[in-house]
Structure 1
Amino acid sequence: MASATPLSRTALTFYTLVALIAFAANSVFCRLALSNEQAVPLIDPSSFTAIRLASGALMLALLMRLTSTKNRTTLDKSSAQPHGSYLAAVLLFVYAIGFSYAYVLLDTATGALVLFAAVQMSMMLMSYIQGHRLNRLEILGALVAFAGFGYLVWPSVGVTNGELSISGMVLMAISGCAWGGYTLLGKGTAKPLFATGYNFIRTIPIVLLMLALVWLLSGLMPVDAMQSTPARLAFNVSAQGVLLAILSGALASGVGYALWYRALSGLSANHAAVLQLLVPVIAAVGGVIFVGEQLSVHLIICASIILFGIALVISAKTTYKL
């Protein structure tokens, strides 16, 4: 979201810090709502995803309306066409649904780490496919990050159920790759707030189709299979679960993205990339404080290796905009 005047150092620091906390809060909200350690989870993953995307769309629509009013512009049908795309909306949905189902299986810190690393690596891979050739430092950083991932996956620790850890990591990696593709599609957009807002709105038909499919499957499958992890195909909605989904969509996603785009007007691509290294760290702290999770030495070592590798790639040469 462009700004007519430069941000002050204080405002830039505030917007950046709040946005990063909001990104990490998504992991905490999702984990609180979907934890399989509870006898009855607060909400099922599909309902969480639907409410998150719908509330995010409403919040972003409100922010777009306020921005348009301030700038004396309109949000008529014709003005909506250039913003975002249906492909971006599909990737946004894949990110959100993968994120929700992965957090049935992963703890907060592990999920945030896998998500963030998958985003960065997928963007780096797509940049390579588009013609950018990695220099030695970038290659070294990529190898270090992949080594950290191998060390993370090998003993299958840092998750709520060792047998399901790989499934959770694969789901979160798919989610991260979708977000990486979504980010690259929006690269260089003149109005990122509007593009994101319309992309959220475009996910609503996909959400309705998903809910219809889950309803159909829940009617065909045995009760035991519906309730089993990781299927969780039965609808299960509580007031607390709905509230967490709304907080994730409207605040952590809607307001968080808006503040991040505002902060980007005063950040270089390098600074933005490096600052996002803090998101898994903040999420891990949030998991300890609000979810009662424990951080293992193994996970701390893995996170350090992976983030160090990504930092090497970023510091070598930024070839994509976050």
Structure 2
Amino acid sequence: MFNQKKASTVIATATALLAFAGNSVLCRLALAEREIDAGSFTVLRIIAGAVVLMLLWRVRECRAMDSKSGFRSNWLASTLLFTYALSFSYAYLSLDTGSGALILFGVVQLVLVLDSWRSGKRLAFTEICGVLVCFTGLVYLVLPSLSTPSAQGAALMVIAGLAWAGYTLVGYGSQLPLRDTAINFVLASPLIMLWMLIDYGDRYYSLTGVVYALLSGALASGIGYAIWYHAIKGLKTSTIGAVQLLVPIIASLGGVLFSNETLSVRLVVATGFVLGGLLIVVLQSHQGDVDSVKSKSS
């Protein structure tokens, strides 16, 4: 039964995936076109996210008159956020989009699957097949742009994938997504500022690069991650990993809609594979829930 809770999860998940795709596009535009350096981009991204989320949280807190939603630090989540954002930015200095996407989402999917096994939640054979179909579509999409990744870039993207998977798993326990995400960004801010003091690399920026970084932080990262923390409460681990494979597809479709890129046969076929694989995972997950309910009632 598609109840209100499930509808909320679907809407939140779709919105978060759109934000993730937008974030990838903004980061790629800023760094590939050398509008801003990776360190400055990450600093502005984290600080912008912290400011916007703190304002939204305070407004919500005042309206709800909720005295129980005070500041509760989570340094693990904040450190994972900092690690992901920094590694992601620097990795794309030496990786093409296709290689970066495969490494990032491959690592995230692998970590989430291993976590399911660790917790005793084995993936059904059908779910594994669905994930493989999704990966087939993603590989087919990025195949023309794939190149041998640099060792440094690949290592940084692996670190980014591990950090993002960890950040997602930490979010399972979030009861107040907006508050928790705001605090994560606030606590990540001094970490990224400390990094800037340690890193003596070249600093350069343009107005366009600054705007990209602020949009990435305030909208695509800050608000997008808060929505993601809300969405994953209603998703299974297998589904969480699979739905994120839609991000490169969404980013490519965004290029067709907003950058006058061509709607290629490759993109259509890849979209069909990813959507089909995701449907398999979701249907199997739903069937598992039904079987579980029947076994408990019998």
Q: Same fold (TM over 0.5)?
A: yes
Task: Give 1:246's aligned residue.
Answer: 214
AA partner of residue 197 (structure 2): A
SS in 2 for 1:100: helix
CA contact (8 A) 2:130 2:278 kept: yes
Task: Give 1:80's aligned residue.
Answer: 71
Counterpart of 2:80 (choices 91, 115, 118) is 91
Task: Give 2:182's aligned residue.
Answer: 197
Counterpart of 2:51 (choices 45, 53, 58) is 58
Q: Note the C-alpha offset of 1:13.
A: 7.7
Alpha-carbon distance change, 142 to 16 in structure 1, aligned in 2, over 3 angstroms: closer
Equivalent positions of 1:198-217 (< 5 A) are: 198-215=183-200
Matched residues, number: 283
Q: Note the C-alpha offset of 1:247.
A: 0.2
AA partner of residue 51 (structure 1): L
Q: Note the C-alpha offset of 1:250.
A: 0.4
Task: Give 1:32's aligned residue.
Answer: 29
Task: Give 1:3's aligned residue.
Answer: none
AA partner of residue 25 (structure 1): G
Task: Give 1:158's aligned residue.
Answer: 145
AA partner of residue 34 (structure 1): L
Alpha-carbon distance change, 75 to 268 in structure 1, aligned in 2, over 3 angstroms: closer
Compare 296-305 and 172-181 and name the one that shifted more: 296-305
Task: Give 2:36's aligned residue.
Answer: 43
After superposition, the CA RMSD in angstroms is 4.0
Alpha-carbon distance change, 194 to 205 in structure 1, aligned in 2, over 3 angstroms: same
Q: Note the C-alpha offset of 1:90.
A: 1.3
Q: Note the C-alpha offset of 1:280.
A: 2.2
Alpha-carbon distance change, 99 to 56 in structure 1, aligned in 2, over 3 angstroms: same
Task: Give 2:224's aligned residue.
Answer: 256
**Any idea what the Cα deviations from partners look like across 1:205-244, whole Å, max 9, x if unmatched?**
21022111212xx3xxxxxxxxxxxxxxx21222111110
AA partner of residue 21 (structure 2): A
Task: Give 1:182's aligned residue.
Answer: 167
Distance in 1, matches of 2:278 and 2:23, equals: 22
Q: Percent identity?
A: 43
Which of the pair is proportionally richer in helix? 2
AA partner of residue 236 (structure 1): Y
Alpha-carbon distance change, 236 to 166 in structure 1, aligned in 2, over 3 angstroms: same
Equivalent positions of 1:98-117 (< 5 A) are: 98-108=87-97, 111-112=100-101, 114-117=103-106
Alpha-carbon distance change, 204 to 314 in structure 1, aligned in 2, over 3 angstroms: same
Alpha-carbon distance change, 63 to 281 in structure 1, aligned in 2, over 3 angstroms: same
Task: Return the TM-score normalized by structure 2.
Answer: 0.75
Q: Note the C-alpha offset of 1:254.
A: 1.9
Equivalent positions of 1:224-303 (< 5 A) are: 234-260=202-228, 273=240, 276-288=244-256
**Any idea what the Cα deviations from partners look like across 1:95-124, whole Å, max 9, x if unmatched?**
111221233344556645553443233211
Task: Give 1:228's aligned residue.
Answer: none
Alpha-carbon distance change, 121 to 141 in structure 1, aligned in 2, over 3 angstroms: farther
Alpha-carbon distance change, 303 to 93 in structure 1, aligned in 2, over 3 angstroms: farther
AA partner of residue 203 (structure 2): F
Q: Note the C-alpha offset of 1:88.
A: 1.2
Task: Give 2:156's aligned residue.
Answer: 171
| Uncovered stretches (5+) of structure 2, i.e. residues with no partner | 289-298
Task: Give 1:223's aligned residue.
Answer: none
Q: Note the C-alpha offset of 1:255.
A: 2.4
**Any idea what the Cα deviations from partners look like across 1:128-165, whole Å, max 9, x if unmatched?**
12333333223434555667788789xx7415xx3546
Distance in 1, matches of 2:269 and 2:141, equals: 9
